[in-house]
Amino acid sequence: MSTHSELFTDPIQAIPPVVREHLLSYCTQRNQHSLAMDENVHLGTAVLEDFVLSGGKRMRPIFGWTGFMGARSPECTEDIEAVTTALSALEFIQACALIHDDIIDSSDTRRGYPTVHRRVEAYHREQGFSGDAAHFGESLAILLGDMALVYADDMVMDSGLSDAALRRIREPWRAMRHEVIGGQILDITIESKGVEGVEAPMRVNRYKTAAYTIERPLHLGAAIAGADEKTIAAYRSYGRDVGIAFQLRDDVLGVFGDPAVTGKPAGDDLREGKRTVLVARTLAILDARAPQRAARLREGLGHVESASDIQELAEIIADSGAVDEVESHITELKNQALATITAVPTVAGILGDLAERATARRM
């Protein structure tokens, strides 16, 4: 595990192994409880353990720790081990979101590996269980996503933070959980309604991604340290801008990304019919310039049958000029965030580096 000094001098490199140790320790404890209940319960929670330990860049705890560092005063007496434990719980929030999101999107892969529900589905078939394998996989994965949310809450409460710190993080923690699930509800609804325009997907980006990825982790770290309102406001503004830019980058990668980098099939957003900002801008441009191409894109979204269909729709988007607009928006949001974070000079350099990494999708 990294030393305390490395956490303060090089958090981007030092935090991930610390987080992994905390997650491993916590999962080991919970798996003992699961095994005491029944071997089948243990088999399920072992899948959750493998999922949270086998990938991810730990960006949420990194942002949370950076928020703590920037707001920490000489009077702060919070135990470092307790702080890193509490912030590691953010990985269980992400696990819940990803497991459920993959079920909703009927995704087959995540980080280059089978999604949790597909993995459990395959296990059902291998064991020759009765009933529908796909239903079994989805059912168990839903419960494992729920279990991850339970683990997150318990890990924070058992972290060793002071009672005062636990009181300070209660509101941002509550808000973060509500926002990420509410954002998912919003995403499903606008996709099903076929809502067009940039406003709706931007609202999804704000709550489904930006809030729990960057904004609230920074807020939580600052709250643990006992930050003033000015610092929290700066963190949250930075987090919203970088978080939305992060999702806009994901929108581009969802159409044009290399599967070796994204861990997902090429054109996955087109296959799923995602109503992203990129798609919204493309349709707006083509409605004015090339209505037939706009109609083809609307027709094809969510109804892709072959690799050639994906290539055709991707070319329509590429030729529209919408990608350049989204790239400009990413740069604008990043620059706004960099200007905002000068209000917290102690970590402005680290947050500048993190903004570059997040918006270029190098973390």
Reported as a single tens digit per residue, the pLDDT across 116-130 is 999 999 999 999 999
**322-340 helix and 348-360 helix, angle to the nearest 10 degrees:** 170
Whether pLDDT at 363 is above 60: no
Higher pLDDT, 245 or 362: 245
Whether pLDDT at 185 is above 60: yes
pLDDT for 256-271, tens place per residue?
Answer: 988 877 777 778 889 9
Q: Sketch the domain layout of the chain as residue ranges.
A: 4-360
What pLDDT was estimated at residue 81?
97
Question: How many alpha carbons fall within 13 Å on the CB side of residue 127?
Answer: 15
Mean pLDDT value across residues 216-236:
98
d(CA 169, CA 155): 13
Give the Å distances, CA to CA, from 173 to 204, 211, 337: 19, 11, 22
Q: Tokens standing for 195?
A: 């809502």
Whether pLDDT at 108 is above 80: yes
What pLDDT was estimated at residue 5?
78
What pLDDT was estimated at residue 230?
96
Q: Which residues partner with 114 through β-bridges? A: 109
Query: Any idea which of 95-104, 297-306, 327-336 has the lowest mean pLDDT?
Result: 297-306
What pLDDT was estimated at residue 262?
74
Q: Tokens standing for 62?
A: 């990194």
Q: What are phi and psi of 113, to 5 degrees?
A: -125, 165
Contact by Cβ (8 Å): 120, 140: yes
Contact by Cβ (8 Å): 251, 262: no
Helix (H, G, I), strand (E, B) or coil at 246: helix
Give the Å distances, CA to CA, from 12 to 9, 115, 343: 9, 27, 21
Nearest partner of 63 among 125, 15, 131, judged by Cα: 15
What pLDDT was estimated at residue 212?
95
What pLDDT was estimated at residue 362?
61
d(CA 126, CA 361): 36
Whether pLDDT at 1 is above 60: no
What pLDDT was estimated at residue 74?
86
What pLDDT was estimated at residue 191?
86
Structural fold of domain 4-360 = Farnesyl Diphosphate Synthase (1.10.600)
pLDDT for 290-308, tens place per residue?
Answer: 999 999 999 999 998 899 9
Burial of 230 from C-beta contacts in 10 A (0-12 / 13-18 / 19+): exposed
Q: Which residues partner with 153 through β-bridges? A: none
Whether pLDDT at 2 is above 70: no
Higher pLDDT, 163 or 74: 163
What pLDDT was estimated at residue 3?
61
Whether pLDDT at 9 is above 90: no
Nearest partner of 360 among 255, 261, 262, 246, judged by Cα: 246
Whether pLDDT at 361 is above 80: no
d(CA 255, CA 314): 6
Torsion of CA 201, 207, 210, 213, to 10 degrees: -130
Mean pLDDT value across residues 224-248:
97
Contact by Cβ (8 Å): 111, 62: no
Query: Any idea which of 36-40, 52-56, 76-80, 121-125 has the lowest mean pLDDT?
Result: 52-56
Provide the mean pLDDT of the chain.
94
Q: What predicted TM-score, i.e. pTM, was given to this entire model?
A: 0.94
